[in-house]
Amino acid sequence: MNPTDSPKEYGEYVKKKAPNSPILKDCFNAFWVGGLVCCIGQLIFFFCKYKGLDETSCSTVVSISLIALAIFLSAINVFNRIGKFAGAGTIVPITGFANSIVSPAMEYKSEGYVMGVGAKMFTVAGPVLVYGISASVIVGLLACLFL
């Protein structure tokens, strides 16, 4: 039987031949690195609280610090290496969101600051913003109407 006889057979053939992602290893690494990111955030939180900030300000400082750290690591080409290892562990927290905006900005800098950095900065994060903001508007309207 020729594997290229029909799309169905070819699909099965490709599935059989293609290497799978090492899901257990990926999950494990994502779990502990993601946990570590959260611990770092929590440490910053405790530190701010110890210094006398109120809880809302502490949360803001945590977000800002983690974003700054992720941007710095992206800029020195370290974040992508951590991300290759940790996967969702660094992509899902706020660090991943920061990286997803900085990385196209770095990549497209060669095309200029307006049409490159400015226009392409949100190619990865754009959909998250569009649907995230749209969803929050809808939820807000519903809350306004029914609560």
Partner 1 sequence: MKKLGKQTLQLDNKPTILNTAAIVGPKELNGPLAKYFDKCVEDEFWGEASWEKAESKFIKETVSTVLGKADVSSSDIDYVFAGDLLNQCISSCFGMRDTNIPFFGLFGACSTFVEGLCLGSVFIDSGACKNILCATSSHFCSAEKQFRFPLELGNQRTPTSQWTVTGAGAVILGKADNGPYITHITPGKIVDLGIKDANNMRCSNGSGSFIHTFCTF
- The site map against partner 1 for 112-131 (x = CB under 8 A) is ------------x-------
- Cα angle 45, 50, 54; round to 5: 65
Stretch that binds partner 1, among 6-14, 49-57, 59-67, 129-137 (CB under 8 A): 6-14
* Alpha carbons 122 and 34: distance in angstroms, whole number: 24
116, burial (CB in 10 Å: exposed 0-12, middle 13-18, buried 19+): middle
Three-state secondary-structure class, residue 43: helix
User: Binding residue for partner 1 (CB under 8 A) from 34, 44, 61, 83?
Assistant: 83
Stretch that binds partner 1, among 42-50, 99-107, 128-136, 139-147 (CB under 8 A): 99-107
For partner 1, the closer CB: 58 or 125: 125
User: Binding residue for partner 1 (CB under 8 A) from 48, 69, 74, 93?
Assistant: 74
**Least Cβ distance, residue 8 to partner 1 (angstroms):** 8
Q: What part of residues 18-37 is at the interface with partner 1 (CB under 8 A)? A: 18-21, 26
CA 112 centroid distance within chain: 25
* Alpha carbons 61 and 41: distance in angstroms, whole number: 9
**Least Cβ distance, residue 84 to partner 1 (angstroms):** 6
**What Cα–Cα distance (Å) separates residue 31 from each residue in 6, 10, 65, 90?**
40, 35, 21, 10
128, burial (CB in 10 Å: exposed 0-12, middle 13-18, buried 19+): middle
Question: What is the binding site for partner 1 (CB under 8 A)?
Answer: 4, 6-7, 10-11, 14, 18-21, 26, 74, 77, 79-84, 86-87, 90-91, 96, 99-100, 102-104, 106-108, 110-111, 124
